[in-house]
Amino acid sequence: MINKQKGIASIITIGDELLIGQTIDTNSAWMGIALNESGIAVRRRLAVGDNWDDIWQAIEQESAFANIILITGGLGPTADDITKPLLCKFFDGELVVDQGALDNVIDIFSNKLGKPLIERNLKQAEVPNTCVVIPNKRGTAPGMLFEKNNCVYVSMPGVPHEMKGMMSDDVIPWLINHFSVDKIIHKTMLTVGIGESFLAEILSPFEQLLPPEIKLAYLPSYGMVRLRLTTSHPSYQAEIEKQFNALKIIVQEHLVADEDLSMQAAVSAKMMEQSKTLSIAESCTGGYIAHLITSLAGSSQFFFGGIVSYSNELKMSLLNVPAEILEEFGAVSIQTVEKMAEGIRLKTGSDFGLATSGIMGPGGGTDTKPVGYVCVAVSLKNKTVSTTFQFRFDRTRNIELTAIQALNFLRKNMG
């Protein structure tokens, strides 16, 4: 058995699809968050393909860096998955049927799916006899936990919700029980409208006085920069609060939230706090802002809905933008976007109307309105305000940046 060592994790993800870029690895990010919250630091994350030698070497070598090796992927019912026989050999076991896993497979097929059970599915109940079986309440492939040379290895399916359930229900509780864990404290705030290097310049005196036990990190994304203070020293918990408050004051002009919130969550919180309601008219963002808002549970409390007026006809018929305005100034103009914002607010009876119109690319740009040119307006009861942006990126990034900046413009005009 394992003594109570300090737990340090390495995550191994298996699958050719990760290496050829067909799949983006979101599992590792989720695991990183969950482990950190439990006080287990992740030291390395490694992805290898469906190749016997590469998987073998990965499992063998990561034990030089960590004593908790978490493995996902390669456990499906199909022939391209070789992880289970490999683990069986690596941990000197033999494949045997696990009765609990078998009952689970039978239950899923006959009771939940109502489908006939096939040989291939039964094979999923086989596990090496050298492992502890971790039940899978959400799928057919069981998890497996092995111990070897003071190191713990856990193999889980790559299907995200199965892996997440297994981690939360069984793996993390087991790890906390068997390892000593440090409380790692992160304090994060969200700033917008100032670049990383200018922030660093402003924060230079602050950084110089920061105790070495507290780390400051800059995390830029889509026109925003998150600032994160971190310590794993239990005696610095009071100090990190003090430093965090000092940091807030220094960046207050650019501060959106003093926690690790998304921009849409910051806007939502403010809407609910003020008991205000919102509706959105989107042209260039094509429904993306409404999607960001409605991804948050409970958004129906303040969000009435929106109109994606991609064509000029809909701008006129659904949002009452006058034909003359569209004709004189064009669909992408301050004049049009203000009418859109007023139109959606009046049509739905919400407190705020937010509207976007712009040229996202790759086509559609002109000399005066190039790709990345965006107009944003917010309509309130007694006035309508607007602004323009010029982004310089590809379609996907222009849409994301527009959404973030539009939400920030709304936030600033909420008062």
DSSP labels, 228-240: EEEE--GGGHHHH
Q: How far apart are CA 110 and CA 56, in angstroms?
A: 36
Of the pair 161, 242, the CB lying nearest a second copy is at 161
Question: Hey, what are 381's tokens?
Answer: 């009861």
Nearest to 162 by CA among 95, 118, 236, 101: 101
If you search the block for the tokens 């260039």, which residue do you land on? 284
Of the pair 103, 383, the CB lying nearest a second copy is at 103
Q: How far apart are CA 389 and CA 212, in angstroms?
A: 40
Distance between alpha carbon 59 and the CA centroid of its chain, in Å?
A: 27
Alpha helices per DSSP H over 3-137:
16-19, 27-37, 52-62, 83-90, 99-106, 119-122
If you search the block for the tokens 């086989």, which residue do you land on? 126
In the complex, least distance from residue 148 CB atom to a second copy, rounded to whole angstroms: 21
In the complex, least distance from residue 284 CB atom to a second copy, rounded to whole angstroms: 8
Of the pair 219, 246, the CB lying nearest a second copy is at 219
In the complex, least distance from residue 329 CB atom to a second copy, rounded to whole angstroms: 19
Of the pair 129, 215, the CB lying nearest a second copy is at 215
In the complex, least distance from residue 150 CB atom to a second copy, rounded to whole angstroms: 20
Nearest to 413 by CA among 367, 388, 377, 389: 377
Of the pair 92, 113, the CB lying nearest a second copy is at 113
Contact by Cβ (8 Å): 86, 55: yes
Of the pair 14, 383, the CB lying nearest a second copy is at 14
In the complex, least distance from residue 221 CB atom to a second copy, rounded to whole angstroms: 7
In the complex, least distance from residue 27 CB atom to a second copy, rounded to whole angstroms: 10
